[in-house]
Amino acid sequence: MEIPYEVKPRRDTGLYNAKLGVWLFLASEVMLFGGLFSAYVFLRAGVQEGVDNPWPWGLNVHKGFVWLGFLNTLVLIASSVGVVFAWVALKERNWRKYQLYMYFVVACALVFMCVKGVEYNSKLNKHHGIKLVDNSVMEGAILDKTDRIRFEGTKAVFGLQGAHPAFLKDISDEKFPTFTATVQFKEDEEPIVTEISSESQLKKWFTQHRRIAAKKLTAERTRYRKELESGNAKPVNLNTSATLVSSEPFNVNAKPTKVVGHSDTSVNYRDGSKVEGKLISDDVKFVMHEVDLQLVLPQKQRDSIVWEVIGDDHAKKQFFAKQQEEYKKMREYYEGRGETIPDKMLRGHMLNLHYIDHGDHGHDGDHGDEPHKSEAKHSASEGDGEHHDYITVPRDKIKFMGNHGPRYGNYYALYFTMTALHGLHVVGGALVLLFFTVFGKKLYLKNPEHLANRVEVGGLFWHFVDLIWIFLFPLMYLL
């Protein structure tokens, strides 16, 4: 069937159908992104200085990301220009030129997504932050997943309900330990004992016994309901928990987000499962880049916990020297206008600790593991042989820690939502344009104007994607 008005405009609308369609679609897209931009305005305007997480802005915080964002803006604009010229080439009936321009556009989209990938990787895997209990913030990188609670388990207890027990994923041994699983539904029953030597076996065993437990529970409830009628009901009494005992200790690296609490002898997971054994370490090893005291009152900044954790007087001195410099600049600005400095401006500033000379590096082998308690700095080498100075952060001093992912703050939540949605549009648009380029020849030979119209419509979408980025760049990276 021939679709009408692909080339010729309809008399009542004055447009060919696809064009009206894409404009209606773009109108709805405006509302989709509009909702997110409105969320941006709402959250950003609502930041309470000194109470909420500070909104990261400017080169000071975004550093290399500004340049990546800038590069991406240029790339998208270039691609937008490319799409227009591809369309003009079609109008001039120049297939070769059209194809070249279109491949250029698709290549731009590819570059854009790669740069985005670099940014995401950096935010999600390379940058972490730790907020201490007094709201001072340390920015840097957590070393070797030491945010996890390192634990040596011998026994695990969990319920035979719901999903697989949470600790299962955190077992870090290469060889799965041999477990003896015990379930005893009722006190007067024989316990069911099973030997388990692999993870898949354990999962299978879990599913099986979960089913048995469910059946038994149903039976118990039916009994209880019947007994209620006779007026003499014994309460439901069924033990649906299972115990795993391992022959040799197994290593658990518990993810802190899954854990409710832990002590020297046990780790309690959110799903109710529990591992018993011995705590190896719960200290976080942290490669420090910056200190941020914006959430600490100016008069309390010198006694902040962060200095105790860092244990480096030189760094502290540098921080406050730099802060004084900033204050001086600000004072000059405000006094020049005959005003006093607003309270929020007296907050702390980021300090880059990369440039600080730490003095002596490395360990002295003779001193054993902990030469002096006061020296909080250690040196660790990673797989690539690169040395990092790290500090040890006691877990009880930490209020929050995490990578710069969506849950790190409102800014990051919005950043990831908006740029990821925009990225999806880039991928979708590029695929459509690629389709027109690779498979367009047949249509071009049959009716070049029809293909030109398709490219125009695809191009309209592409320009819209560019248009969104034009706003995202200053809002996310600069302002």
Partner 1 sequence: MSEEVHDWDSHKKTYWAVGIALFVFTFVTLILGIWEPLDLGPPGPTPADYVIGLAVAGTKASLVALIFMHLNHEKGLIYKTLLFTFLFFVSLMALTLFAAADPIVESYDTRETTNGKLTE
Residues of this chain that interact with partner 1 (CB under 8 A) are: 9, 13-15, 19-20, 23-24, 27, 30-31, 34-35, 37-38, 41-42, 45-46, 48, 50-51, 57-59, 66, 70, 73-74, 77-78, 80-81, 83-85, 88, 91-92, 135, 297, 299, 326, 329-330, 333-334, 342-343, 345, 449, 459-460, 463-464, 466-467, 470-471, 473-474, 477-479
Least Å distance, CB 322 to partner 1, is: 14
User: From CA 214, how far away is CA 161, in angstroms rounded?
Assistant: 8
The answer to whether 73 and 109 are in contact (CB under 8 A) is no
Least Å distance, CB 345 to partner 1, is: 6
**Could you tell me which of 195, 399, 169 has the C-alpha nearest to residue 275?**
169
CB closer to partner 1, 42 vs 438: 42
Give Cα separations from 267 to 36, 240, 252, 260, 282 (angstroms): 40, 20, 9, 8, 11
Least Å distance, CB 309 to partner 1, is: 19
From the CB of residue 289, how many other CB atoms can be counted at a distance below 10 Å? 18
Least Å distance, CB 304 to partner 1, is: 13
Please report the DSSP string for 353-399 in residue order: -TT---SS-S--GGG-S-S-SS--EEEEE-TT--EEEEEEE-GGGEE
Least Å distance, CB 328 to partner 1, is: 12
CB closer to partner 1, 35 vs 162: 35
CB closer to partner 1, 212 vs 460: 460
Q: What is the DSSP letter of 141?
A: E
Least Å distance, CB 321 to partner 1, is: 18
The answer to whether 269 and 167 are in contact (CB under 8 A) is yes
The answer to whether 174 and 307 are in contact (CB under 8 A) is no
Least Å distance, CB 317 to partner 1, is: 23
Q: What is the DSSP letter of 172?
A: -
Cα dihedral 249, 254, 258, 262 in deg (nearest 10): 70
CB closer to partner 1, 26 vs 376: 26
Contacts of 153 (CB under 8 A, 6+ apart): 167, 246, 249, 250, 251, 252, 267, 275, 276, 277
3-class SS of residue 267: strand
- With 0-12 / 13-18 / 19 or more C-beta atoms within 10 angstroms meaning exposed / middle / buried, residue 178 is middle
Least Å distance, CB 175 to partner 1, is: 46
CB closer to partner 1, 195 vs 343: 343
- Residue 258: CA atoms inside 13 Å, Cβ hemisphere, count? 19
CB closer to partner 1, 116 vs 285: 116
User: From CA 272, how far away is CA 257, in angstroms rounded?
Assistant: 14
CB closer to partner 1, 224 vs 334: 334
- Where are the alpha helices (H) located in 231-312, listed in sequence order? 305-310
Least Å distance, CB 114 to partner 1, is: 19
Measured in whole angstroms, the distance separating CA 148 from the mean position of its chain's CA atoms is 16
Phi/psi of residue 183, nearest 5 degrees: -130, 130
Least Å distance, CB 13 to partner 1, is: 5
Contacts of 53 (CB under 8 A, 6+ apart): 47, 295, 408, 409, 410, 411
Least Å distance, CB 187 to partner 1, is: 46
CB closer to partner 1, 94 vs 154: 94
Q: Where are the beta strands (DSSP E) in 143-240?
A: 149-159, 179-183, 192-196
Q: Is 115 left (phi over 0), alpha (psi -120 to 50) or beta?
A: alpha
CB closer to partner 1, 29 vs 271: 29
Token pair, residue 351, equals 């300090």
CB closer to partner 1, 78 vs 434: 78
Least Å distance, CB 333 to partner 1, is: 6
CB closer to partner 1, 438 vs 445: 445
User: From CA 98, how far away is CA 437, in angstroms rounded?
Assistant: 8
CB closer to partner 1, 217 vs 460: 460
